[in-house]
Amino acid sequence: MKLRLRFHTLLTSAALTFALVASTEIVRADEPVSEVEVKEAVVVAEQARADAQHAYDEGDLEKAQTLLEHADALAHVADDYFRLAVICEARGYYQEASTYFKAYLQETKSKGDRARTSIIAIARMEEEGGTIVVRADPGLEDLVLDGRPQRLAAPAKLLVAPGEHVVTAMGHVDTKAVVDVQAGETVEVLLAREPTTPAAGGCASCTVTNDITPTEPVGVTLIGLVVLAVRRGRRR
CATH of the domain at 28: 1.25.40.10
- The reply to whether 164 and 106 lie within a common domain is no
Return the exposure string of 29-43: e unless at least 16 CB atoms fall within 10 Å of the residue's CB, then b: eeeeeeeeeeeebbe
Residue 235 has pLDDT above 70, yes or no: no
Residue 1 covered by a domain: no
Residue 2 has pLDDT above 60, yes or no: no
Q: What pLDDT, on the 0 to 100 scale, is given for residue 115? A: 96
Residue 87 covered by a domain: yes
Average pLDDT score over residue span 48-76:
96
Residue 215 covered by a domain: yes
Q: Of 7-16, 36-45, 173-182, give the lowest mean pLDDT range.
A: 7-16
- The reply to whether 179 and 162 lie within a common domain is yes
Q: Of 1-10, 71-80, 196-205, give the lowest mean pLDDT range.
A: 1-10
The backbone torsions φ and ψ at residue 195, rounded to the nearest 5 degrees and listed phi first, read -60, 140
Domain end call among 107, 127, 147: 127
- The reply to whether 192 and 123 lie within a common domain is no
Among 132, 107, 118, 109, smallest CA distance to 182 is for: 132
- Band of pLDDT at residue 58, cut at 50, 70 and 90: very high
Angle at which helices 78-90 and 35-57 cross, to 10°? 30
Q: What pLDDT, on the 0 to 100 scale, is given for residue 31? A: 66
Q: What pLDDT, on the 0 to 100 scale, is given for residue 142? A: 86
- The reply to whether 33 and 118 lie within a common domain is yes
Domain end call among 99, 127, 155: 127
Residues found in the chain: 236
Task: Give the CA dihedral 9, 62, 72, 21, nearest 10 degrees.
Answer: -40
Average pLDDT score over residue span 30-38:
79
Angle at which helices 113-128 and 78-90 cross, to 10°? 30
Which domain, by its residues, includes 150? 129-232
Domain end call among 100, 127, 154: 127
- The reply to whether 121 and 137 lie within a common domain is no
Structural domains counted in the chain: 2
- The reply to whether 63 and 149 lie within a common domain is no
Which letter does DSSP use for residue 145 in this model?
A: E
Q: What pLDDT, on the 0 to 100 scale, is given for residue 52? A: 97
If DSSP codes are grouped into helix, strand and coil, which group holds residue 127? helix
Residue 5 covered by a domain: no
Q: What pLDDT, on the 0 to 100 scale, is given for residue 147? A: 93
